[in-house]
Amino acid sequence: MRIALSVLALLLSTSLAAASFSSCVASLRERAAEAGVGPGIVARALDLTAPDEKVLRLSQLRPETKTPIWDYMAFLVDAQRVADGRAMMRKHASVLRAAERRFGVDRHVIAAVWGIETDYGRETGDNFLPHALATLACDGGPRVRFWRGELIAALQLVDRGDLKLDDLKGSWAGAFGHTQFIPTTYRRLAIDFDGDGRRDLVGSVADALGSTAHYLRRSGWQTGRPFMIEVKVPAGYRGPTGRTRKATLTQWARRGVTRADGARLAGGGRAGLLLPAGPNGPGFLVFRNFDAIYAYNHADSYALAVAHLADRLAGRPPLRIAWPTDDPGLSRAARLKLQQLLIAKGYAIGEADGKIGPATRAAIAEAETKLGLPPTGRPGSRILQALQAE
């Protein structure tokens, strides 16, 4: 009897959840219609019977371990992304120059955003946005209004003819296209830069790069001004740090900060000091233009990756100061090599794709233990070299 009751309770709660989801979707349909989206588009977009489980899982995922900055940078600014970026900059030279002229934004930074966001258009995401956003808008969480706004904005882009419904594919959180705008940003700031009358950040590289330059300009980009300088701080530095605690370069020089390239620290503008790995690692003086990059995605590490990739695309050298670790991070090519070695040694991690998921992490930890290394599960140089030497 108790079992029967609990089964009944489960069935009831499942059907209640389904009922509340379908009534939520019905209200989304009404909202979309009120916002002027045509009934055909609303029907085709929201014709779904169940929440997208994958999106729910991803939205609830909390990373167990924080990625060390040297892993993050090694992966995002590797030799391949620099080489690919230079090739893409040659291929799209006239568009990048036109965007630079019109918005005053350094074309290397525009290309770097593209490279970091989607590997120059290769990885734009495959979640169908109307389903992903409806799922999030109906999950009962604290941000349902935000997700509802993104959903309506996405459908409006289709309604006004900028995009086709099938173009709405991207990240689980609604970022999509070559440079991963979310729909409300797209609605507000996307431009038609190739002149065909549509704002198409999915199919048109010109529209995407022009819109990205527009975004950076609107975020306060100052033409011809620096964005970042690599610096060194005195041993045991305990002075101010942080992007927003800005001071003049003269003030930084007085605090003992020097340029990593040995040149004199001089010039106008105010900068904050970032020490992402503490005073023994590379330091960065970051200017107002760095804040414009930060506006794109609110994380210092993200803005550092874009800024450093931009420097590399402009022909400037790799970081001069080493990260303070005896186990540096790996490029995508080295991660692939690591996975191939793990597979060759019998670890069941699926296919080697250079992407480090839970299965690869578990295999790394196991291999580390076997080799007498501390089990970190991290794709670092130490485990790669140990496996190569075996």
Q: Which residues in this chain contact Ca ion in the complex, by CB under 5 A?
A: 192, 194, 196, 198, 200, 204, 207
Shorter beta-carbon distance to Ca ion: residue 119 or 192: 192
**3-class secondary structure, 66:** coil
Least Cβ distance, residue 169 to Ca ion (angstroms): 18
Least Cβ distance, residue 211 to Ca ion (angstroms): 10
Shorter beta-carbon distance to Ca ion: residue 194 or 291: 194
- Cα angle for residues 91, 94, 97 (degrees, 5° grid): 120
Tokens at 227, concatenated: 């964005």
Question: Which residue has the CB atom at the shortest distance from Ca ion?
Answer: 192
Least Cβ distance, residue 66 to Ca ion (angstroms): 40
Least Cβ distance, residue 203 to Ca ion (angstroms): 8
Shorter beta-carbon distance to Ca ion: residue 193 or 290: 193
The residue type found at 63 is: P
What Cα–Cα distance (Å) separates residue 93 from each residue in 99, 108, 314? 10, 11, 13
The phi, psi pair for 266, rounded to 5°, reads: -150, 160
Beta bridge partners of residue 380, listed in sequence order: 329
Least Cβ distance, residue 165 to Ca ion (angstroms): 18
Q: Are 379 and 356 in contact (CB under 8 A)?
A: yes
Q: Which residue shows structure tokens 């074309």?
A: 107
Least Cβ distance, residue 32 to Ca ion (angstroms): 24
Categorise residue 7: left if φ over 0, alpha if ψ from -120 to 50, beta otherwise.
alpha
Indicate if the alpha-carbon torsion angle 77, 78, 81, 86 is positive or negative. Answer: positive
Beta bridge partners of residue 242, listed in sequence order: 273
Widest Cα–Cα separation across the chain = 82
Q: Are 329 and 240 in contact (CB under 8 A)?
A: no
Shorter beta-carbon distance to Ca ion: residue 127 or 204: 204
Shorter beta-carbon distance to Ca ion: residue 195 or 268: 195
Beta bridge partners of residue 181, listed in sequence order: 176
Least Cβ distance, residue 188 to Ca ion (angstroms): 17
Shorter beta-carbon distance to Ca ion: residue 200 or 311: 200
Report which DSSP code applies to 165.
G
Shorter beta-carbon distance to Ca ion: residue 197 or 268: 197
